[in-house]
Each structure stands twice: as structure tokens, then as C-alpha cells.
């Protein structure tokens, strides 16, 4: 039970283990060795008169028994036949041990005997197989710890003490040490400690050796703890069962009952040799008394149960470790008695003993480690006694002690944190947070040690997460994570002082925490995935429990919920402190209190919420209102007073609120307290009234003792007298009352507890409460390497962290500090991005941009060189752009600051000439190899010199050449080597920034970020002003516009997102520019380029893109004129590349408008017509949507006098050729469409045809004869080429009215009104027009004849013929028309007659058509009637022949019919 597993071996042994079986030669060697040791002891003894002169004859005994036994061993030693392990070690050890025990031997003899035993132990003669080895080891330990010798001189005494240490240590390190019992191990440690204590009056060397031996022992013993079986439960039970019947008294196993009696009470060195036990308590006073009380095995005070005899004699294990650990802890209690006695020894107690004890405890914990948790008694020692002492020593003035305490706590955190949740909270709140700030009066050294310790904790990757999850998210604990993070960031701030080591230390801690978070990012489970907490209904917040603390999917939501509740409670507390009623209403609104308040929930709010005003709570609890009284009793019910002293319980109770001043309120409060106390700790008290009276009495005593106005203080007897007969009529035990009296006198009960803020001291009563709470507190959550809570933690600490790192970076002067800060900045950026904390990232960018020095108004003469010399600025610049490139997705408003830096670099000429456009061009080339090249070339600055101000030489080398060039006024000296180096550094920095990739890689940015980048570019470009702006502003605006266009082109898939802003920006530029300049040039061509590139990909946006080109139409006339040719080329290119992607009428309207404008521009018209030709020739890209628009554009080109008449003719051919498309559409409609759609389509085609012929009609009036006549021919072709589709009669009537008749009338007006200079050869045109009329009329005769309005139409034809017959050109009658018109009329009449349209009807009313015809015809040619109707004079046969010949003539005279069809 509790013994070592023998086979596991002992780690502490350094010698190589040997086999126990030795060869015969080996046997002889060992025999010789022991023989020589016997000889050595005898030799020293012979030197002494006492031993050397005993050879008197006649004596019964010739020699002393010590010498005899040694000589007897000598005789036997060579005659043993057995192997060494078969020989009982006692045989060859006993003679030496007798010498050691004897008080007759002097120090030199004892010393040699000890050396001999040491040699035997280290020779490996003993092994686990040796006979009776256990008894032999016990003999050795008993003998050495009972060592007696005569003191002859101090030096030899010290030597013996050192050898005792040596032998005891060898026993523990020997491989047979496992045979030692618990009792013997305790004795060994006790003996060593006594030597440590004695050494205080001896030499420094002995002190050091003794302490070292003690350390080695503790290490040796506790290194076996992991090997000990888990049998603690059995031990505890047996211990408790034996307690009463044990041996009689607890100190059975202490030194006192071994043969370690004091010698003769002192060691005199007056030449009188006196026999002393080496461990004499020669030094009186504190240490001796404490040691007697605290010897190992003396029982662990009232809580501990001493182990029984059986266990103590078992092979050593946990029992001795518990005893030793308890002993070490009790050494720390020594300090409490420090002032009670004189210090006669040399140990500086205030620092030395605690340091020694703490060092031993630290070793024990380091080696015992996580195994301690398997042994409840060891664990409870650490949880209570050790930690209580650590809290006390933590506030020691000694930096050494504080440092050791912190090391122990760090070890405990590593190994046992799950068992020490509240203890760790108390340590950080009451020690680290108090000491690390100067306001609590700590020295600089203390602050530094506390800060170093905190930074060590921060370097444990999961420390801060565990503090947050276990403490900050627990309503009953303080916000340790938040307090520590604030402490670190405040401590890193140099306020009105230079940067010190402390600032850097705090910064290291902060950055360690941040980098821990950054490292966790790759491990999945980002906290941002947590759904927000929302309390839908009331559940008691103090009852929230977690089902599984080891499964993150369960505990993470639980912890987040608990933190949400805690935050809400804090807000509620804030409201409560302003107005209690509103505070409770707020909490009801957030479902933390029920809609109908109940006493328990309000009591728990008061009990568990930090930051409440304790005066208000006291008033509420003392109120006589029934609800308040119920709350008071529930409030008292939340306390655990189990096994607690009355004064401790009262202190804890009154710490939570301020006791009201009125006696009735005090009575109510104390009644509730007494009831609860009596319920839980009724041991001495008879009833709750006794508890109430005694509580009152304590409050009065407290006032009496600690109120300065009370002059006559109550004595102990007064107090006891006052409390007679209160315990159910009996007296309370006097010692009970005495203890209470002294407790109150020494330590005031504060009835006005400090308000919330600040870090409290750890009082004994608070510690007792903490131990009670720790039994009920929620399980400790162990965090792993995943980022479950980092989002919330980072949100809390990001602001102060960025501020702190920035301030240190600002004040720092060393490269390594810069680098630390930069690492911190990058970690902050990474976390902000991965947890989607855009605001934090923006703040970081703003902060960093200030350090680039690029935004400072440049007062430096040579900013490039200054930048090259400033490593901080260069590092900041690289960091800003690293963040922009890596984490651009999550930058929002920060883009503005980044752009300010880019613009500054641009102004300094440090950027490549075309950061952005290169990027856009490259992607363009790769995206569209066929057309990439020409587009790139046409848009590059080489092919489009801007008309604005000449650009300065930019680009890296340009700037460098400026540096080397001579100044205009005075010759500049050659740059120095330093200047060249600085310039080189600047260039390298800019290269490292990869500024161009921000824009080239913008296609990978998240939408929100991309939008903000675009807005920032627009903002940086500034609003264009009407009139002249400075060249520098224009340069900036052009640069920003280039970048904006580049990101637009790079993000064609998300053009919708950007388009509105880009369009408005370009629109502003266009509307505000009145003179040609680089900016408007960039804007217009950028717009055209965007359209060119995006039309193929974004058909749904085609209309919007094309509508934007209307901006070009709004350009100021001077600007438009300057760029007209290039614009047209671009539009032409756009059309050729994207004609198939333009579908809508609106889009085509924009395109044709742009092309139409060029018709009258000398340089641009060629390119414009080229584009139109591309669209219209062979109807390649004609659509119902663009037909009318294209026809109209072609008409404008036909009418344009710019360029050759030949182009106008080609334009007319395009118009007339387009009729084929109409026929084709009609055919396709007939084949593919439903009946309704066909009629609709025919109607549309009819309208398009009408617009076509109307357009041609206008060109028929052109001044140029060639164009005019060609237009007539084209019109005739269009009018007669409609066989492919049926036009309604109404449309033909419209056509005659609006086109043919109007044209004839207009031509007549022109012929009669204009001089021949403007219009040449009008007669030919009129003839063509007349023929056109006749042919079209005859072609349509059959259809038209059916109409009711035929008479009116025929009248129109006749009247025009009549007018043309009489027309005068230049005041003269024409030659051709008088011949042509009668001929055409005659032809027409013959056809009408042949088709039966014109016949004489003998009706009553007469025949209006017949009469009308002859009325006009006779005016034109009186002989016509007889020619056409000779039968009226009997010439029938002739009529028939003439009719046939004329009909055939008519059809033959209109070749256009066949050609058009």
C-alpha cells in the first residue's frame, strides 16, 4: 500500500547498477575494501589515548567491545564462502554502526566510521536480493540519525555533520532505498533539517552543504511520487480508524521519542569534552520551539489525521510525502510568530527561511507534478495551507521571495490548475494585480518581478483563454483576463517618461497573448461562428449549468451565454446604482429577473453581481417592507457557514453590503444572519437567539474597540460578563468567547466595506470563504489550441493593445523593439481579419499610417532621403502594405489612409510610372489575346499624349536621376555615399511593399472591402472643380482615376457593385471640365475602355454601360473637339468587338448618336463611317432594335458635306440595301411566329420601312446632284423592293402623302426658288422624281384601286404631273419635262384602262373618276383621251394593240422591280 513499484528502479541513482552475483575475484576485492575500512577506523582509534592504552594484564577484558567487534569482523571477512548477497549486511555494518552510536568516541573516529558506511553504501554491495537488506538499511538510518560523539573542536564537529548528511543522502539514493519505511524517510529528512538549523551557527560552507543535501533529499523523495500506486483512499480510511487507539500520542514518530535527546544542553568548547547529540537544540528561542512543534510526523494540526503505525512502517510512499510536505508548509507559518522571541541564530528569518522552504516546496511540486492530484491529502495541503501562505508571501517586500512564489504558482498552474481555480483567481487579484501597479505602494523591484511573472503566464498559450473561460465568464468570479490585459496595456504605456525595461516587458506580455491567438487561428473553430446569445425567457442565472466541460461544442456556447449574463448583470448594476427600481426593471426586461420579482432572484442578484453600491444594497436588505425582508432571508441563505467561526461568518456576511445605521435595520439583518448561522453551525450554540445575541455583542465590541471616540475600551472580562447566560440560559465556554474577543480586537470587522473597484486584500475570513466556495465552484475548463473564445477576448483587448503597441513603437529607438512591435501589429491584423473585426483593422491601419511619416506635412528638404534614413518609417510602411495585401478583405475606412500613403509616394515619384494600368493591361492581354494588343497600344500613354500639363518624370529611376541632376540655380554637389545608401534603402522598401498587387489582386477582395477601396479612390481624387486646378491636384486625380479604372477592369464579375460610383465620378469630371486636360482624357477613354472590356461579359449590364457613353455627348465643345477622332476610333473598336452583345434600342441609340456626331467632323468622320459600315453592310448587325437608328445615322452621313460625295453615295447604298433585312425579318416571322406576333411584327417592319423611305426623301433634297439623284434611285429601289412583305394600304397612303408627294413638292420648290449655283441640273432630278412617281403608282395600282380614297390619291398624282408640266427652272420652261410628263401620264392611263380601273360608266350620277381624270389630263395633253380611248371614235382594234404594247412598255420601264426583288 503506497509503496514503490520495485521493478521500476530509482531515477535518482547515478551509478550504473551491477549484478549482485560477483565473480570470485570481485568477492576478494570487496573483502579487501571492507578490511581496509576496518583498518582505517582502528588506526584513528589507536591514536586516542583512551583506546590505545587498554592493554593491562590481568584485566577481565583486554580490549573495548568496539575494538573487539571490529577485529572479529577482520577475522571473518576473508573466510566467508558465500556470495556477498547471501551474507547478512548487518554482520559487516554493525561494528561501524556501533562506533557511530557510541558517545565515547570522539568526532574524528565517528567521522571515519561514517565514511566507511558511506563507502559500503556506494560500492553497490547491497542490492534488493541481499539477505535481510531491509533490516540492514533500517539499522544504518537508526544508527546515523542517533549518532553520538564527543565534541573536541568546531571543525571536526562540522565534518561529522557533513558526513552524516552524506550517508543519509546515500541511503536515499541507493537502489535499496525502496526498502526504507515511511517512518525512516521522515527521520532522515528531520535529521537533515536539524543539521540545517544547527548549521546556522556554524560555517557558511556547512550551511550551504546542509541546504543542498535537504534539496537533494526532497527531490529524491518526490521524484518517486509518479511511481507510487494510487492507494490514497485506503490510507486515509485506515488513518482515521486508528486515530484513537493509536500509540498514545501523536509525536510517536517525531525526533523527540527517538534517541535524539538533548545532550547536556549546550556545547561548551572549554577543553572539557562533553558528549552531545549532534542535533542538540543549542540555540534557544523561536527556531527551537518551532522545530519541536513541527517535527515531521507530529500530526498536521486539527484538519489532518496522522497515519497509523502500520502505515508508517511500510516501505515508503505517500504517507511520508504528506508528512514532509506538511512540514515544509509549516515552515512558512514560522513567520507568523516572528516577533515573539529573540533571534539568536544567523538565519535572516524575514527572507532566508521562507526562501529555503519555498525552494524545497518548488522542487517537490516540480517533481511530483500532475501525480499530486491522485493523492487527496497532498492536494488539499496545496489547495489550502500552501496557497494561503503563498498569498501572504506574495506581498512580501522581498523580490526574491516574490519571485519564488511566482515560480511555484506557475508550476502549480502547469500541473494542477484544474484543482486550483479560485486559488489562482485570488493570486492574480490579490497579489499580481496589486503589486504590478505602483498605486498600491509596491516598490519598483516588486512591480518588475510581478510583471515578469505575469509575462511568464502570458507565454503559456492557453493561460489567458482559461482565465477568460473560467473566471471572466463566471458570474461569481472577477474579470481576471480583462484586468490582466488592461494592466499589460497600461504598463506598456510610457506616460511622461522615457521607455523603460518595464514597458518593454509589459509589451512582451501583450504580444505573447496576441501571438497565441494568431497561432490558434489555423486550428479551426473561429469564435465568430458562434451564434449571438439571446435570452428569450427567464431562467435563474445563478443556476446555469454545463453538461459537459470537456466537449467544446457544449462548453463554448455555455461560456458565451454566461459571459452575456455577466455583462447584462453589470449593466443592471450600473442602472441599479443610479436608481434601484429602474435597475431591477432593466434586468426584468433582459429576462435575468422574472417578470414578477421573487425574493430569491433579487437576493442572488445582490449576492453575485460585482459593482453594486453596497450602501443601496444595505438599505434594501434592512427595509421593513415584507418583500425586502424575504429578500434578506434568501440573501442570508446564499452563504455557506458550515464549520465556520462566528466572527469569520459575520465578517463575510458584512463584506457584501454596508450595515445600515438604524438599530431596527441592524436587528433585521442580524436576525437573518443568526438564523442561517445557527442552521449550519449549531455546535456550541443552543439556539438561534444565542447566535443573535452573540452577533450583536460582537458588533458592539467591534465598535468599542475600533472607534476612536470610545476612550474606555472593553476588557476581555467585560466581554465575557456581558455574554453570561445567553446560550439558552447557560454560559458559553470561556475559551470560545476569549478567542472571539481577541479576534475582534486584532482584526476589525469593517461595517463599511470598500466599494467594488480595486483589488482586495486576502484576509483570513476571505480565505475560509474561498475554501468553502472552491468545493462548489464550476469545474475548471481546460482550453485546447482552437480559437473558440478568441473573438470575444480580442474584442475586449484590441483597442488598448493597439494603443499600447503604437505608443511603444513611437517612443522606441532600437531595431529589436521596432521588430517586436511590428510582430504585434501583424498578429493583431491577422486576428482582426480572421475574426472579421473590421473596425479593429481600420484602427490599426490608421495607427500604422501615422508612423510611415508619409502623411506628415513635408517640412523636410529631401523627403526621399529622410525616409531612407528613418528605419521606423520604412518598417511601418512595409507593414501597412503587407496588411493591405494580406488582409485587404477586412479593411474598410482604412483604405483612405493607405491611399494617402500611396499618393504621397506617387508625388515623391517613388512609384513605378504606371502602377495600376500595367496591371489592367496584363490581365487584358491574357484575357483576350486576339484583341488585347491593339487595345493596349491605343490606350497607352505613348499613343495618347495628354493635352494637359506635362507630367513630371516619375518612376523610381526618374526620381533618382533628379537626385543626381544639377539644380537650375546653383550646381548641386554629387550625392554623398550616405545619400545614395538612403536612396537605395527607400527603393528597396517600396519594392517590398508590392503596392501594385493591391490593385491587380483586387479581384480577390471581398465585396465590402472592394467597394470601400473604390470609394476611397474617388474620395482621394477629390471633387473636380470648374476652372483651373493646380497641376499637382490634377496629377493626383489622374493617378486615382487610373487606379479606379484598373480595379473596375479587374473586377468585371462584380461591376454592378462598383459601377454606380465609377460612373458618377467620371460624370463629375466630364461635367466640370471646360478645357482639354489629362484628367478628362483619362476619364473619357477609361469609360470607353471599361465598356469595351465588359460588354462581352455583362450582357445584363450592357444598357447601363452604353448609357454611360452618353457622357461623351455631354462633353464641352472644346473638349469634344480635341478628342473627337480618338473617341470615334474607340467607339468604332468597341462596336467591332461587341456588336453582337449590344441588343437594346437604348444601347444602339447611344452608339449611333456618337457615330452620327462624327459625320460632320473632318478628322473623326472616317472612323465613324467605318463603324457604321461594319454594322450595316449586308445587314450584318442590323436588328429591329437598331434599324431605325442606323438608318438615321446613315442618312446623316449621306447628308454630310465632310469628305467626298462618294461616301454619301455609299451611305445611301447602305440605306437602300437595308430593305433586304426587312424582307428577311418578315420571312422569318412568317415561319416562326404565332398569328398575333406576325401582325405585330409586320406593323413594326412597316414603320421601319416608312422611316427608311422618309430618310431617303430628305437626302433627295441634297444640294449635290450626284447624291440627290442617287438618293432618288435608292428611294425608288426601296419603294419597289417590298415584295417580300405585305405593307398595309394605309401605310402606302401615308407613304404617298409624307414621302412621294412631299418630296415632289419640295423638289419643285427648290427648283423654282434656288439659284442654279446651289443646285445644279435640277431638271434631271425632277425627271427622275416624276418617273419614280409613275412607276410606284403603277406598281401599286391594283391594291390602291380598291381603296375608297383612290380618287383623292389619283388627283394628287395628276395635280403633281400638271405642276411638273408647267415648271420653270431659273425662270425658263424645261425641255425634258413637257415631253416626259405626257408620256408618263399616257402610259399610266393605258395601264389603268387595261386593268379596268379607268372605264366610262353610264350611271345616273355620272363617273367622278372618269371626269376627274380627263379634267386634269386635258390640261396636260388635250390629245390624250383620243389616244387612250380611240374606240369612242371606232378605233377598237388599234386600242387593243396600243394597250398591250403600252403595258409591256410600262413593265419594261421599271427595271428596279426585278432588281430590288
Which sequence positions are flagged as catalytic?
662
Cα 918 vs. chain centroid, distance in angstroms? Answer: 33
Environment class of residue 708 by beta-carbon count within 10 Å: exposed (0-12), middle (13-18) or buried (19+)? exposed
Query: Residue 1362: phi, psi to the nearest 5?
Result: -65, -45
Question: 3-state class of 1288 per DSSP?
Answer: coil
What is the rounded (10 degree) CA torsion for 120, 125, 131, 137? 40
Q: Which residues is 772 bridged to in the sheet?
A: none
Helix (H) or strand (E) holding 1372, with range, is strand 1372-1373
Q: 20 with 129: CB under 8 angstroms?
A: yes
N-term to C-term CA, the chain: 119
Helix (H) or strand (E) holding 963, with range, is helix 956-964
Helix (H) or strand (E) holding 1009, with range, is helix 1007-1021
Alpha-carbon torsion (801, 805, 808, 814), positive or negative: positive
H helices present in 102-203, as ranges: 107-122, 133-145, 154-173, 182-198
**CA–CA distance, 116 with 93 (Å, rounded to integer):** 9
DSSP assignment letter at 381: I
List the grid coordinates of 269.
568548547
According to DSSP, the β-strands at 1372-1373 and 274-277 are unpaired
Question: 3-state class of 1166 per DSSP?
Answer: helix
DSSP assignment letter at 259: T
**CA–CA distance, 401 with 1231 (Å, rounded to integer):** 103
**CA–CA distance, 239 with 310 (Å, rounded to integer):** 10
Query: Residue 782: phi, psi to the nearest 5?
Result: -95, 120
Compute CA distances 216 → 126, 169, 363, whole Å. 21, 8, 9
Q: Residue 729: how many CB atoms within 10 A of its CB?
A: 8
List the grid coordinates of 934.
491593339
- What angle in degrees, to the nearest 10, is found between the helix axes of 352-368 and 204-222? 30
Query: Residue 148: phi, psi to the nearest 5?
Result: -125, 145
Q: Which residues is 1373 bridged to in the sheet?
A: 1368
**CA–CA distance, 657 with 754 (Å, rounded to integer):** 9
List the grid coordinates of 50.
583512551
List, in order, residues 6 or more apart from 1403 with CB less than 8 Å away: none
Query: Residue 1369: phi, psi to the nearest 5?
Result: -105, 130
Query: Residue 1280: phi, psi to the nearest 5?
Result: -100, -5
List the grid coordinates of 725.
447566560
Q: What share of the chain is helix, strand, coil (3-state, %, to 5)?
A: 70, 0, 30
DSSP assignment letter at 1012: H
Q: Residue 515: how many CB atoms within 10 A of its CB?
A: 20
Helix (H) or strand (E) holding 1158, with range, is helix 1145-1158
Name which of 22, 27, 109 is nearest 70 in CA terms: 109
Q: Residue 59: how many CB atoms within 10 A of its CB?
A: 9
Q: Which residues is 277 bridged to in the sheet?
A: 148
List the grid coordinates of 508.
512582451
List the grid coordinates of 1056.
454592378
**C-alpha atoms less than 13 angstroms from C-alpha of 796 in its C-beta half-sphere:** 21
Amino acid at each position: 500500500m503506497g509503496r514503490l513499484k520495485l521493478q521500476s528502479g530509482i531515477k535518482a541513482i547515478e551509478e550504473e547498477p551491477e549484478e549482485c552475483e560477483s565473480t570470485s575475484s570481485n568477492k576478494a576485492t570487496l573483502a579487501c575494501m571492507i578490511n581496509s575500512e576496518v583498518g582505517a577506523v582502528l588506526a584513528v582509534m589507536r591514536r586516542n589515548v583512551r583506546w590505545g592504552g587498554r592493554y593491562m594484564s590481568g584485566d577481565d577484558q583486554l580490549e573495548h567491545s568496539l575494538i573487539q567487534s571490529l577485529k572479529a569482523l577482520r577475522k571473518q571477512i576473508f573466510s566467508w564462502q558465500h556470495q556477498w548477497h547471501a551474507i547478512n549486511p548487518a554482520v559487516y555494518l554493525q561494528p561501524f554502526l556501533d562506533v557511530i552510536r557510541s558517545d565515547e568516541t570522539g568526532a574524528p573516529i565517528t567521522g571515519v566510521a561514517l565514511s566507511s558506511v558511506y563507502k559500503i553504501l556506494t560500492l553497490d554491495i547491497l542490492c534488493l536480493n541481499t539477505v535481510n537488506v531491509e533490516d540492514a538499511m533500517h539499522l544504518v538510518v537508526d544508527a546515523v540519525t542517533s549518532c553520538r560523539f564527543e565534541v573536541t573542536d568546531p571543525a571536526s564537529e562540522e565534518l561529522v555533520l557533513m558526513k552524516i548528511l552524506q550517508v543519509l543522502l546515500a541511503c536515499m539514493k541507493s537502489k535499496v532505498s525502496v526498502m526504507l519505511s515511511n517512518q525512516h524517510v521522515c527521520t532522515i529528512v528531520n535529521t537533515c533539517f536539524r543539521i540545517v538549523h544547527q548549521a546556522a551557527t556554524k560555517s557558511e560552507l556547512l550551511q550551504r552543504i546542509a541546504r543542498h543535501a535537504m534539496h537533494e533529499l526532497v527531490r529524491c523523495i518526490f521524484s518517486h511520487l509518479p511511481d507510487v500506486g494510487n492507494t490514497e483512499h485506503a490510507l486515509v480510511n485506515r488513518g482515521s480508524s486508528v486515530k484513537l487507539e493509536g500509540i498514545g500520542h501523536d509525536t510517536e514518530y517525531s525526533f523527540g521519542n527517538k534517541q535524539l535527546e538533548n545532550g547536556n544542553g549546550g556545547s561548551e568548547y572549554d577543553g572539557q569534552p562533553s558528549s552531545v547529540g549532534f542535533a542538540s537544540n543549542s540555540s534557544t528561542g523561536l527556531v527551537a520551539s518551532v522545530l519541536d512543534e513541527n517535527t515531521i510526523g507530529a500530526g498536521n494540526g486539527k484538519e489532518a489525521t496522522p497515519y497509523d503505525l502500520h502505515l508508517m512502517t511500510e516501505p515508503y510512499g505517500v504517507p511520508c510525502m504528506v508528512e514532509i510536505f506538511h512540514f515544509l508548509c509549516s515552515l512558512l507559518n514560522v513567520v507568523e510568530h516572528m516577533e515573539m522571541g529573540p533571534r539568536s541564530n544567523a538565519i535572516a528569518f524575514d527572507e532566508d527561511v521562507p526562501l529555503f522552504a519555498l525552494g524545497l516546496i518548488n522542487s517537490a511540486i516540480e517533481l511530483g507534478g500532475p501525480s499530486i492530484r491522485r493523492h487527496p491529502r497532498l492536494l488539499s495541503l496545496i489547495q489550502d495551507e500552501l496557497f494561503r501562505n503563498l498569498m501572504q508571501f506574495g506581498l512580501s517586500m522581498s523580490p526574491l521571495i516574490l519571485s519564488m512564489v511566482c515560480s511555484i504558482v506557475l508550476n502549480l498552474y502547469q500541473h494542477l490548475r484544474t484543482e486550483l481555480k479560485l486559488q489562482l483567481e485570488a493570486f492574480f487579484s490579490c497579489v499580481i494585480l496589486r503589486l504590478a501597479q505602483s498605486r498600491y505602494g509596491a516598490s519598483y523591484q516588486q512591480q518588475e518581478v510581478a510583471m515578469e511573472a505575469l509575462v511568464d503566464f502570458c507565454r503559456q498559450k492557453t493561460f489567458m483563454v482559461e482565465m477568460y473561460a473560467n473566471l471572466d465568464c463566471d458570474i461569481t468570479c472577477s474579470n481576471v483576463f480583462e484586468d490582466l490585459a488592461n494592466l499589460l496595456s497600461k504598463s506598456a504605456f510610457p506616460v511622461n517618461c522615457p521607455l523603460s525595461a518595464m514597458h518593454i516587458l509589459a509589451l512582451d506580455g501583450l504580444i505573447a497573448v496576441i501571438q497565441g491567438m494568431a497561432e490558434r487561428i489555423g486550428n479551426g473553430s473561429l469564435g465568430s461562428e458562434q451564434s449571438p446569445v439571446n435570452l428569450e425567457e427567464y431562467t435563474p442565472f445563478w443556476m446555469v449549468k454545463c453538461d459537459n466541460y470537456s466537449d467544446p461544442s457544449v462548453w463554448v456556447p455555455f461560456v458565451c451565454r454566461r459571459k452575456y449574463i455577466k455583462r447584462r448583470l453589470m449593466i443592471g448594476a450600473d442602472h441599479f446604482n443610479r436608481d434601484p427600481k429602474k435597475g431591477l426593471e432593466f434586468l426584468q426586461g433582459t429576462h435575468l429577473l422574472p417578470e414578477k420579482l421573487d425574493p430569491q432572484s433579487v437576493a442572488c442578484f445582490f449576492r453575485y453581481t460585482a459593482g453594486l453600491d453596497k450602501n443601496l444594497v444595505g438599505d434594501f436588505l434592512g427595509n421593513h417592507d415584507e418583500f425586502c425582508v424575504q429578500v434578506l432571508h434568501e440573501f442570508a441563505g446564499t452563504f455557506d457557514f458550515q464549520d465556520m467561526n462566528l466572527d469569520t461568518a459575520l465578517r463575510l456576511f458584512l463584506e457584501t453590503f454596508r450595515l445600515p445605521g438604524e438599530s431596527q435595520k441592524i436587528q433585521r439583518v442580524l436576525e437573518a444572519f443568526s438564523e442561517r448561522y445557527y442552521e449550519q453551525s449549531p455546535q456550541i450554540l443552543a439556539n438561534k437567539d444565542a447566535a443573535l445575541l452573540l452577533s450583536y455583542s460582537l458588533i458592539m465590541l467591534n465598535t468599542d474597540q475600533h472607534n476612536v471616540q470610545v476612550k474606555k475600551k472593553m476588557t476581555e472580562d467585560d466581554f465575557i460578563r456581558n455574554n453570561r447566560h445567553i446560550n439558552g440560559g447557560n454560559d458559553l465556554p470561556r475559551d470560545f468567547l476569549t478567542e472571539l474577543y481577541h479576534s475582534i480586537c486584532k482584526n476589525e470587522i469593517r461595517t463599511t466595506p470598500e466599494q467594488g473597484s480595486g483589488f482586495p486584500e486576502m484576509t483570513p475570513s476571505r480565505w475560509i470563504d474561498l475554501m468553502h466556495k472552491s468545493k462548489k465552484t464550476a469545474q475548471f475548463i481546460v482550453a485546447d489550441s482552437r480559437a473558440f473564445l478568441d473573438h470575444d477576448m480580442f474584442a475586449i483587448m484590441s483597442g488598448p493593445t493597439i494603443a499600447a503597441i503604437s505608443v511603444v513603437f513611437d517612443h522606441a529607438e532600437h531595431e529589436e523593439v521596432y521588430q517586436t512591435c511590428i510582430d504585434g501589429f501583424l498578429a493583431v491584423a491577422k486576428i482582426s481579419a480572421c475574426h472579421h473585426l473590421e473596425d479593429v483593422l481600420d484602427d490599426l491601419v490608421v495607427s500604422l499610417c501615422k508612423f510611415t511619416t508619409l502623411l506628415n506635412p513635408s517640412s523636410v528638404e529631401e523627403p526621399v532621403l529622410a525616409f531612407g534614413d528613418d528605419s521606423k518609417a520604412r518598417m511601418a510602411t512595409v507593414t501597412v502594405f503587407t496588411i493591405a495585401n494580406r488582409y485587404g478583405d477586412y479593411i474598410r475606412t482604412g483604405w483612405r489612409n493607405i491611399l494617402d500613403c500611396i499618393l504621397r509616394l506617387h508625388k515623391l515619384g517613388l512609384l513605378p510610372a504606371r502602377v495600376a494600368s500595367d496591371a489592367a493591361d496584363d490581365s487584358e492581354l491574357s484575357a483576350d489575346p486576339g484583341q488585347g494588343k491593339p487595345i493596349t497600344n491605343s490606350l497607352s500613354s505613348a499613343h495618347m499624349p495628354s493635352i494637359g500639363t506635362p507630367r513630371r518624370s516619375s518612376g523610381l529611376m526618374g526620381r533618382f536621376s533628379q537626385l543626381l541632376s544639377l539644380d537650375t540655380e546653383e550646381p548641386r554637389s554629387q550625392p554623398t555615399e550616405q545619400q545614395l545608401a538612403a536612396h537605395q534603402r527607400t527603393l528597396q522598401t517600396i519594392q517590398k511593399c508590392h503596392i501594385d498587387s493591391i490593385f491587380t489582386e483586387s479581384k480577390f477582395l471581398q465585396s465590402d472591402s472592394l467597394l470601400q477601396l473604390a470609394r476611397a479612390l474617388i474620395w482621394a481624387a477629390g471633387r473636380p472643380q470648374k476652372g483651373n486646378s493646380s497641376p499637382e491636384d490634377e496629377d493626383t486625380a489622374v493617378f486615382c482615376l487610373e487606379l479606379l479604372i484598373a480595379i473596375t477592369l479587374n473586377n468585371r464579375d462584380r461591376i454592378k457593385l462598383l459601377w454606380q460610383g465609377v460612373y458618377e465620378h467620371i460624370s463629375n469630371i466630364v461635367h466640370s471640365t471646360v478645357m482639354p486636360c489629362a484628367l478628362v482624357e483619362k476619364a473619357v477613354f477609361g469609360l470607353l475602355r471599361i465598356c469595351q472590356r465588359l460588354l462581352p461579359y455583362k450582357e445584363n449590364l450592357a444598357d447601363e454601360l452604353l448609357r454611360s457613353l452618353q457622357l461623351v455627348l455631354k462633353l464641352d465643345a472644346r473638349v469634344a473637339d480635341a478628342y473627337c477622332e480618338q473617341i470615334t476610333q474607340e467607339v468604332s473598336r468597341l462596336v467591332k468587338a461587341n456588336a453582337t452583345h449590344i441588343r437594346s434600342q437604348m444601347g444602339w441609340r447611344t452608339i449611333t448618336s456618337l457615330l452620327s456626331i462624327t459625320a460632320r467632323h473632318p478628322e473623326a468622320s472616317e472612323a465613324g463611317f467605318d463603324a457604321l459600315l461594319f454594322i450595316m453592310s449586308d445587314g450584318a448587325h442590323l436588328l429591329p432594335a437598331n434599324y431605325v437608328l442606323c438608318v438615321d445615322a446613315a442618312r446623316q452621313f449621306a447628308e454630310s458635306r465632310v469628305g467626298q460625295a462618294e461616301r454619301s453615295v455609299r451611305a445611301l447604298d447602305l440605306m437602300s440595301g437595308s430593305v433586304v433585312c426587312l424582307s428577311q425579318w418578315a420571312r422569318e416571322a412568317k415561319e416562326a411566329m404565332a398569328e398575333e406576333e406576325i401582325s405585330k411584327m409586320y406593323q413594326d417592319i412597316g414603320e421601319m420601312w416608312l422611316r427608311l423611305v422618309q430618310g431617303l426623301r430628305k437626302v433627295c433634297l441634297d444640294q449635290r446632284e450626284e447624291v440627290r439623284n442617287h438618293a432618288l434611285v435608292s428611294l425608288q429601289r426601296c419603294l419597289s423592293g417590298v415584295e417580300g412583305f405585305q405593307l398595309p394600304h394605309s401605310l402606302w397612303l401615308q407613304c404617298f402623302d409624307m414621302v412621294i408627294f412631299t418630296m415632289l413638292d419640295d423638289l419643285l420648290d427648290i427648283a423654282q426658288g434656288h439659284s442654279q449655283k446651289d443646285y445644279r441640273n435640277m431638271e434631271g432630278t425632277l425627271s427622275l422624281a416624276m418617273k419614280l412617281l409613275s412607276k410606284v403608282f403603277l406598281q401599286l395600282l391594283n391594291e390602291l384601286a380598291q381603296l375608297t380614297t383612290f380618287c383623292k390619291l389619283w388627283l394628287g398624282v395628276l395635280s403633281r404631273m400638271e405642276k411638273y408640266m408647267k415648271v420653270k427652272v431659273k425662270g425658263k420652261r424645261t425641255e425634258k419635262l413637257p415631253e416626259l410628263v405626257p408620256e408618263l401620264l399616257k402610259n399610266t392611263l393605258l395601264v389603268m384602262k387595261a386593268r379596268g380601273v379607268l372605264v366610262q360608266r353610264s350611271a345616273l350620277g355620272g363617273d367622278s373618276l372618269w371626269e376627274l381624270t380627263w379634267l386634269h389630263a386635258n390640261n396636260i395633253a388635250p390629245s390624250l383621251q383620243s389616244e387612250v380611248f380611240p374606240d369612242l371614235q371606232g378605233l377598237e382594234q388599234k386600242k387593243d394593240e396600243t394597250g398591250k404594247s403600252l403595258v409591256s412598255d410600262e413593265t419594261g420601264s421599271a427595271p428596279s422591280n426585278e432588281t430590288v426583288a
